[in-house]
């Protein structure tokens, strides 16, 4: 992908395929290669916002709102009303916009209930005990198999650990929001080496996703480009992944993929935003309480990674 293309904020609409199928808009965030989603019921115009970013500059430690502004502009332009603000996991590479979106839309926030375990893990890493409280900072904590609705559309929650120990996939009709499990079929799969990650679990989670009906639209969490294409992409079907994805296509052996994934992950640096992002995301997208000078501060472990 060319550098000029990487800097653009692409938007694509994946239209409903009929009754029970959502309209989906994907909004590319170029600084982190993240994809943000609007999932809407065509009948009621009710929508969920999924994995929206609060823009964070790790060089200057400053925040801005252009990504959430763009998402909310699309909501207004398409006559939608926001019913849910959803995240698939506490992200390592971007700061979640959930708390701000709740303030701006009034919609409840939600994430998987195993965020409790992720919070406990990172409290140890930061040596900050008792600071994260998912019950306080999220309105709903979804368990494996739980269901809810976006308008008249049913949504099922799948536990999809591996990238983190508490990642979840949202399955809405023939659309599934698969976060950091799969990449596009011309790229492969996501990493599993962060604290709480597990390569074998990620393989199992991907197999569960690929067991969905062949025409299910899979919407991934990231795209960093690939040889031979000029624009970011984020949608492919189960059938396309099973036929084309070099990491997990039909015929791939579990042990071969685990070896390949572990070897690749061993070469990857930490994302630039991870140590800031986790402190904020585990608070539902809120900064730590301001200190006596009115400013918020983050704590970073030295020589930990």
CATH number of the CATH domain containing 26: 3.60.15.10
Under the banding of pLDDT at 50, 70 and 90, the label for residue 6 is very low
For residue 296, is it within any domain? no
Q: Which of 27, 106, 97 is nearest to 64 (CA)?
A: 97
Q: Note the pTM of the prediction, 2 decimals.
A: 0.95
- Its domain, for residue 192, covers 3-281
* Residue 13 main-chain phi, psi, to 5 deg: -105, 125
pLDDT digits (tens, 9 = 90+) for 183-228: 999 999 999 999 999 999 999 999 999 999 999 999 999 999 888 8
C-beta separation of 305 from 270 below 8 A = yes
How many whole angstroms separate alpha carbon 73 and alpha carbon 233? Answer: 21
Q: What's phi and psi for 158, nearest 5 deg?
A: -110, 130
24: in domain: yes
With a CB cutoff of 8 Å and minimum separation 6, the contacts of 249 are 241, 242, 243
Question: How many domains is the chain partitioned into structurally?
Answer: 1
pLDDT, residue 248, reads 96
In a domain, 167, yes or no: yes
Q: Rounded to whole angstroms, how far apart are CA atoms 218 and 235?
A: 6
Domain assignment present for 286? no
**140 within some domain:** yes
Domain membership of residue 248 (yes or no) is yes
**23-66 tens-digit pLDDT:** 999 999 999 999 999 999 999 999 999 999 999 999 999 999 99
- Strand runs labelled E in the chain: 11-14, 23-29, 34-40, 46-50, 53-57, 62-64, 81-86, 95-96, 109-112, 140-142, 147-150, 153-159, 168-172, 175-179, 217-220, 235-237
């Amino acid at each position: 992908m060319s550098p000029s293309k990487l800097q653009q904020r692409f938007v694509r609409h994946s239209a409903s395929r009929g009754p029970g199928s959502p309209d989906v808009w994907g909004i590319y965030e170029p600084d982190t290669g993240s994809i943000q989603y609007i999932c809407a019921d065509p009948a009621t115009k009710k929508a969920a916002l999924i994995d929206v970013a609060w823009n964070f500059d790790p060089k200057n430690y400053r925040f801005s709102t252009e990504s959430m502004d763009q998402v909310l502009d699309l909501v207004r332009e398409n006559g939608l009303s926001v019913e849910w603000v959803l995240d698939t996991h506490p992200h390592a590479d971007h700061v979640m916009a959930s708390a701000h979106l709740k303030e701006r839309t009034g919609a409840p926030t939600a994430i998987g209930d195993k965020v409790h375990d992720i919070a406990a893990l990172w409290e140890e890493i930061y040596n900050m005990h008792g600071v994260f409280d998912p019950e306080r900072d999220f309105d709903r904590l979804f368990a494996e198999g739980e269901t809810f609705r976006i308008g008249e559309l049913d949504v099922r929650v799948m536990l999809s650990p591996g990238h983190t120990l508490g990642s979840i996939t949202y399955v809405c009709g023939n659309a599934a929001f698969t976060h950091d499990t799969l990449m596009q079929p011309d790229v492969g799969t996501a990493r599993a080496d962060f604290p709480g990650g597990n390569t074998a679990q990620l393989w199992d989670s991907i197999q569960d996703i690929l067991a969905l009906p062949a025409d299910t639209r899979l919407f991934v969490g990231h795209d960093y480009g690939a040889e031979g294409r000029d624009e970011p992409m984020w949608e492919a079907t189960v059938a396309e992944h099973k036929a084309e994805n070099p990491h997990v296509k039909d015929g791939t052996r579990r042990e071969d993929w685990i070896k390949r994934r572990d070897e690749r992950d061993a070469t990857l640096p930490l994302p630039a935003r991870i140590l800031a992002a986790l402190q904020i995301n585990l608070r539902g997208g809120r900064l730590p309480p301001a200190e006596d000078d009115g400013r918020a501060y983050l704590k970073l472990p030295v020589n930990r990674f």
